[in-house]
Amino acid sequence: MLGFVGPSTRRSGWPLIWAATEQSRSHFENGAYDWDRTKIAWYFHAKAVGADASVFFTKSPPFLLIARQLADAFSNAKFLIMVRNPYAALEGILRRHGRRTSGLPRSRVVKTAAMHLVQCLGFQARNRSLLSGRCASFSYEEMCANPTDVACQIESLVPELDDLDLAQRLPVKGIYDETLRNMNEDAFARLAPETVRVANEIFVKHRPLLDKFGYALRD
């Protein structure tokens, strides 16, 4: 958002794999954030949309690396912690990141993306503990299967959101409308067996972490 002061994935070399290496994580964990200036910008934009706005929401995936900073900078900050099956997430990264990595060996790209995902799961596990009492934690799969239950979780965390409807039909990419749908099986079908084999070289080393979130290794 215009006015945000801090590192951005758009201006970095890691738009979708920013947790994969110590260097890329440090870029965001130790970035030059100015929360005072950012607050002014964020709240200005929020009030411009609605003068009586009572809840400001922002979604920036790398923020999962700096949950403590956000908790310290915003006195009433609440957090939504969501994870997704790493194989489905992997397919999405490879599909969207393809043009940027066309000159690299496929196995290297797959391993880097897989490492990014296990790092994200590790940080989310830490955030669930760190932000206990200030967060709602759920999976993409749970949200798709039980949108009403997840909406209740969020409303319990932020009572101002008393009309949240996660089961409504919404436009998708300006092409069609539909309700929430679990697209994991579509993603799994697009993964080549060799891609799964290479990813498992990373995932198998972090099996307890996948187990913590209820995700099994795939053959």
Residue 100: which pLDDT band, with cuts at 50, 70 and 90?
low
Residue closest to 90 by CA, chosen among 15, 197, 196, 183: 196
For 56-73, what is each residue's pLDDT tens digit? 898 899 999 999 999 999
| Dihedral sign computed on CA atoms, order 113, 181, 209, 122 | positive
% pLDDT > 90, the chain: 75
- 2, two tokens: 């215009």
CA dihedral angle for residue 136, residue 139, residue 140, residue 146, rounded to 10 degrees: -80
Q: How many CB atoms lie within 10 A of CB 154?
A: 17
Whether the predicted pLDDT of 11 surpasses 70: no
Mean of the per-residue pLDDT values of the chain: 92
Backbone angles phi, psi at 8, to 5 degrees: -130, 140
Domain borders along the chain are: 60-212
pLDDT of residue 173: 81
CA distance 18 to 209: 19
Residue closest to 79 by CA, chosen among 93, 64, 92: 64
Task: Kindly state the tokens that stand for 114.
Answer: 């897989």
pLDDT score of 46 more than 70: yes
Q: Is the distance from CB of 156 to CB of 176 less than 8 angstroms?
A: no
Residue 17 has pLDDT above 80, yes or no: yes
pLDDT in tens, 174-195: 888 999 999 999 999 999 999 9
pLDDT of residue 127: 97
Structure tokens at 174: 């300006």
User: Quick one: pLDDT at residue 3?
Assistant: 86
Residue 166 predicted with pLDDT over 60: yes
pTM of the model: 0.91
